[in-house]
């Protein structure tokens, strides 16, 4: 599942990295805002995969993913438990797929199954897994767009940046979210 994100300008990649930092550090504390952002990213991501098969018009190829992101962002704001399940599933699945550069359908299905298992567990343990998931989602954005923006060799740097940024986000959030339910 190699996604061509070369159409992103430098500013868009920097915005994605900034969103990643926000999610990694403040995702659970401002969880509803984080859910809107993550659902927007999910909608944008999925629509970006589909829209090239629908139209060749570059305007629509940028507009449709944005609209899908907004619709799913609004949806994610109102349905917290479903959102937690979807965010955990999406974050784990796409991180495994990106980290190991999976292309075989069986391995992608296993990555998605791992994501679904984590999603079910996340609903049972909302706070700790919410913190881990938002930090992981933010770390993934930071790693993915840092690799693209700064032309780093993909696999080892992606994993290092992901691990460091997610770990910082997890530690920061656990320290600062003690008083939150």
Contacts of 25 (CB under 8 A, 6+ apart): 135, 138, 168, 169, 172, 173
What pLDDT was estimated at residue 65? Answer: 92
Query: Which residue has better confidence, 6 or 86?
Result: 86
Render pLDDT for 74-101 as a digit per residue (tens, 0 to 9): 887 777 788 778 878 988 998 898 888 8
Render pLDDT for 10-36 as a digit per residue (tens, 0 to 9): 777 788 888 889 889 888 887 777 778
Render pLDDT for 117-166 as a digit per residue (tens, 0 to 9): 999 988 888 888 778 888 988 898 888 888 665 655 556 678 888 899 99
What pLDDT was estimated at residue 1? Answer: 32
């Amino acid at each position: 599942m190699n996604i061509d994100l070369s159409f992103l300008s430098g500013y868009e990649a920097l915005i994605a990295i900034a969103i990643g930092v926000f999610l990694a550090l403040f995702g659970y504390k401002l969880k509803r805002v984080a859910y809107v952002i993550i659902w927007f990213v999910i909608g944008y991501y999925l629509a970006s995969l589909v829209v090239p098969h629908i139209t060749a018009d570059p305007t629509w190829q940028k507009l449709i993913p944005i609209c899908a992101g907004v619709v799913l962002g609004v949806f994610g704001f109102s349905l917290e438990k479903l959102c937690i399940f979807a965010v955990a599933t999406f974050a784990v699945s796409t991180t495994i797929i990106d980290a190991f550069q999976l292309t075989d359908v069986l391995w992608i299905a296993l990555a998605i199954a791992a994501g679904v298992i984590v999603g079910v567990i996340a609903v049972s343990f909302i706070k700790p897994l919410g913190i881990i998931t938002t930090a992981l989602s933010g770390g993934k954005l930071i790693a993915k767009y840092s690799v693209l923006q700064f032309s780093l060799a993909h696999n080892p740097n992606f994993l290092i940046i992901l691990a460091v940024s997610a770990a910082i986000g997890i530690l920061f959030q656990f320290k600062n979210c003690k008083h939150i339910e």
